[in-house]
Amino acid sequence: MIGDGESIPDGEVEGLSEQDLLELHRWLVLLRTYDERSVVYHRQGRIGTYAIYWNHEAMQAGSVYALEREDWIFPSYRESAIGLLRGLPASTILSWWRGHPAGWWNPADWNVASICVPIGTHVPHAAGLAWGKKLRGENACAIAYFGDGATSEGSFHEGANFAAVMRAPLILFCNNNQWAISTPLEAQTAAETLADKAVGYGIPGVRVDGADVLAVYEATREAVARARAGEGPTLIEAVTYRAAPHATADDPSAYIDLERVEEEKERECVGRYEAYLKRLGVLSDEAAEAVRAEAADLMRAGIAEAEAEPPADPGLLFEHAYADPPASFQQDLAELRRILGG
């Protein structure tokens, strides 16, 4: 959809007004700002290890824009901040990355499930929720986000197969950034494309440019329409390239082609969309600056709010895991309290 301003012409998505185009821009900037500020907060010791999603924003904003508020989002750690697009406070997500209970939320308040760190285990949850919506005669669907590496996991297979057999209204959204930490896509699968895997489940599989927010929007809108029409799940493979470390604890220079990363950065998704809007005459430099300033303010307020939370009770680490906790927990907790000086 988004051309290059030279030889590749721009396309247009039917049904998107100027307002929509600008709202999508605001979402992209919000996500980008959250991500860039989070890396700084990590370096300053204000949040813990953080999974960077720089250049994944178009996949997240474009797909969520195709949903209704009643639809459910199942994020992986790579989509940790996707709830912002539903109005979830930045402080809540920052608290999650601070390992603080203020980072827990009730999924039903936002129709955003918990951030899933185990690879792919949320795919069957999303399939079950989507099937449940269908059984109740509700119109809502669910979308599950996962990476290229997740498509090698049993949970992905189980969730995709189950949803397909039940014709559950589910969108399986794969962010193919071509790396699973240091494992490249070639070492992950012998399939030519990840979208090809859909054939084995008897569902449609589509490939889309993951750095083109409008293309992602359109592909997701079609998948949502199929889901609502009772035609079951769609697998969307959004193709991109990881342009940042896997997470703040990773040094990709040991395994990645740094020249390729630099090339990818040049066609990163937020800048591409801004250039598109400027060619259309829809976005001015001043308006873009105002959107960035608004997002920066939101982050400043968010981190201040997260840091104002009183420290969590270390006892929480031991609660909610066992109905009958082993006796050793008491000693462990006492030891932890002693170390923390509380």
Ligand X SMILES: Cc1ncc(C[n+]2csc(CCOP(=O)(O)OP(=O)(O)O)c2C)c(N)n1
Residues with a catalytic annotation lie at 242, 246, 255
CB of residue 94 to Mg ion, shortest distance in Å = 24
CB of residue 180 to Mg ion, shortest distance in Å = 5
Question: 3-class DSSP state for residue 327?
Answer: coil
Nearest to 126 by CA among 147, 145, 139: 145
Query: Alpha carbon of 209 to those of 156, 241, 269: distances in Å?
Result: 22, 10, 10
Residues 119-158: x where in contact with Mg ion by CB under 5 A, - otherwise, as a string: ----------------------------xx----------
CA atoms of 30 and 35, how far apart (whole Å)? 9
Nearer to ligand X, 175 or 234 (CB): 175
Q: In this structure, are residues 59 and 209 in contact, taking their beta carbons and an 8 Å threshold?
A: no
Nearer to ligand X, 187 or 293 (CB): 187
Q: What residues line the site for ligand X (CB under 6 A)? A: 78, 117-119, 146-150, 175, 177, 179-181, 246
Who's near 248: CB < 8 A, 6+ residues apart?
39, 42, 43, 49, 50, 52
- Name residue, tokens 């406070």: 89
Nearer to ligand X, 97 or 146 (CB): 146
Question: 3-class DSSP state for residue 179?
Answer: strand
Report residue 290: phi and psi, to 5°.
-65, -40
Partner from ligand X, Mg ion, none contacting 150, C-beta within 5 to 8 A by type = ligand X
Q: In this structure, are residues 82 and 122 in contact, taking their beta carbons and an 8 Å threshold?
A: no
Tokens at residue 171, please? 């969108």
Partner from Mg ion, ligand X, none contacting 298, C-beta within 5 to 8 A by type = none
CB of residue 255 to ligand X, shortest distance in Å = 13
Nearer to ligand X, 92 or 155 (CB): 155
Partner from Mg ion, ligand X, none contacting 119, C-beta within 5 to 8 A by type = ligand X
Residue range at the interface with Mg ion (CB under 5 A); choices 17-25, 92-100, 180-188, 303-311: 180-188
Residues 27-56: x where in contact with Mg ion by CB under 5 A, - otherwise, as a string: ------------------------------
Q: In this structure, are residues 111 and 126 in contact, taking their beta carbons and an 8 Å threshold?
A: no
Q: In this structure, are residues 143 and 122 in contact, taking their beta carbons and an 8 Å threshold?
A: no
CB of residue 126 to ligand X, shortest distance in Å = 15
CB of residue 121 to Mg ion, shortest distance in Å = 16
Residue range at the interface with Mg ion (CB under 5 A); choices 87-95, 99-107, 179-187, 217-225: 179-187
* Residue, CB closest to ligand X: 147
Helix (H) or strand (E) run with residue 219 in it: helix 213-228
Nearer to ligand X, 117 or 301 (CB): 117
Nearer to Mg ion, 155 or 177 (CB): 177
Asked if 245 interacts with Mg ion (CB under 5 A), we say no
Q: Which positions touch Mg ion (CB under 5 A)?
A: 147-148, 177, 179-180
